[in-house]
Amino acid sequence: MPRYNFPKIVVTGLGAVTPIGNNLQEFWNSLIEGKSGGAPITKFDATEFKSQFACEVKGYDPSLHMNFKEAQRMDLFTQYAISSAAMAIEDAGIDFEKLDRERIGVIIGSGIGGMWTYHHQQQNLYERDGKPDRISPFFVPMLISDIAAGHIAIKWGLKGPNYATVSACATSSHSLADALMILQRGDADMMVVGGSEAVVCPMGVGGFNAMKALSTRNDDPARGSRPFDKDRDGFVIGEGSGVLILETEEHAKNRGARIYAEFAGIGLTDDAFHITQPAPGGEGAVRSMTLAIKDAGLKPEDIDYINAHGTSTPFNDRNETAAIRTAFGDHAYKLAVSSTKSMTGHLLGAAGAVEAIATVLAMYNSKIPPTINYTTPDEDCDLYYVPNVSIDKKVRAAVSNTFGFGGHNASLCFKEYEG
C-alpha cells in the first residue's frame, strides 16, 4: 500500500522535442530502433573544441507552435518547451474551454536557462563598443529559467501553480515530483510539467570540456555515448524538451482521457558528498530509489525496468550499477536496465522529463528501449543493460533515475494503470 491515502495521479499526455525526433512518435520509433542522435556540431564552429559533436535537435520548426515574432523573443530552450507542451496538450485531448484553468498549473524546469541568449547579448555588448544600450530589453525575460513556464501559462491561460525547478541534471524529475505533490494535496487538478534545455553553445560545450566531462570521440560521434561500456569516455551533451500532462485520476476519468500510466512514487535525496562526483557506491541513489518504490506502495521485486541515469561517464555508471545492486539485491539481476542517453545524449535539465516519457512509453507499449553502443562489458557494470536491441517485455512498474551535480538524486516510480 502507498504511504498515504492520496488520490491516484495519472499520465495522460506526452510531448517531446529531442535529438532523435521532434514529436512523440518520431522519438519513440527512434528509441526502439536504437537510433543515435550524435553528430558533428552545427550550431557553432567547434573546430577548436575538444568535443566537436553533440546530440543536437535537428530540423526543428518553431512556426508549428508559435509565430515568428513570438519565437524571436524566446530563447531556444523556451521554444522547445512551448512545442513540447503543445504536443502534450494535443496528445492528452485537452479542451481548456471545458476546464477550470485556475486549477491547472505549469512547472517547467531548466538546468541553465537561456544560455544562447546570454551568448548573443554578451556579443552585442563587447563587440559593439561595450555600450550597455546594445543590450536588448528582452535579455532578462529571455534568459531566466522560469520563463518557459510563464510563456506556457500565458499561451493557454493556465492560472494554477507556476514556476521552474533547477537542480542540474535532476531538474525536470524534480518538476515532476513537485507536480505530483501539488496534485496529491489537492492544490490543482492538472499539471503541465517537464523540462527544457538548449546549451549546445560555445560556453556550454567549452565548460563541460573544461571539466573533462564530455566524450571526445570526434571520429565516431554516433558511438560517443556508450553507457556502461568499458570504453566510455564521457557524456555527449544534448538538447531538447519533454512535457507530460499529469492529473488526478478522477479529473482524467471525468473528461474521458486516455491514461498511459500511474505516477505512483518519488524519492528525493542528496549525497552531501561532492559537487560533481556521486557518493561512493551510489549511496544517495540507493536511498532515492528505495524511497520512490516505498512511496509507490511497492517492493523492489515489483519493479521490471529501470531507465537509468546512465550518463556514459566512468563515475556515474559504476556507482549507479552499485546502487541498483544494493537497492534491489538479487532482483537487480532480473531487471531490465537501459540508458536512453545512449541515443539522445544528456539533455541536462530536460533529461528527467524526456526519460520519464521513455519510461512511460516502455510500460504502455510493453517494449524496452536498448542501451546502444554497448560492445565491451565492464566488470564493474554487470547488470542486464538491454544491449543494442530493444526487447518486448511487460512492465508492471518502472523507475526512472536522474542525478545532478550538487549531489541531487531524484527517482520516479511509475506503475501500470489499473482503472
Catalytic sites, residue numbers: 169, 309, 346
Minimal CA–CA distance to 330: which of 293, 288, 383?
383
Asked if residue 236 lies in contact with residue 53, where contact means CB atoms within 8 angstroms, the answer is yes
What does the block give as the cell for 193? 510539467
How far apart (Å, rounded) are the C-alpha atoms in residues 228 and 370?
Answer: 12
How far apart (Å, rounded) are the C-alpha atoms in residues 21 and 238?
Answer: 13
DSSP structural state of residue 144: S
How far apart (Å, rounded) are the C-alpha atoms in residues 251 and 260?
Answer: 14
DSSP structural state of residue 412: E
How far apart (Å, rounded) are the C-alpha atoms in residues 406 and 344?
Answer: 23
Q: How far is CA 101 from CA 71, 147, 190, 250, 290, in A?
A: 24, 19, 9, 16, 35
How far apart (Å, rounded) are the C-alpha atoms in residues 197 and 219?
Answer: 26
Backbone angles phi, psi at 119, to 5 degrees: -60, -50
SS3 350: helix
What does the block give as the cell for 297? 506502495
Asked if residue 366 lies in contact with residue 395, where contact means CB atoms within 8 angstroms, the answer is yes
DSSP structural state of residue 324: H
Query: Which residue type occupies 300?
Result: P
Minimal CA–CA distance to 171: which of 415, 412, 413?
412
Triad 185, 262, 90: Cα angle to 5° = 95
Asked if residue 79 lies in contact with residue 66, where contact means CB atoms within 8 angstroms, the answer is yes
Alpha helices by DSSP H, listed for 255-337, are 283-295, 314-328
Q: How far is CA 225 from CA 98, 201, 229, 332, in A?
A: 45, 19, 9, 23
How far apart (Å, rounded) are the C-alpha atoms in residues 242 and 260?
Answer: 15
Asked if residue 384 lies in contact with residue 337, where contact means CB atoms within 8 angstroms, the answer is yes
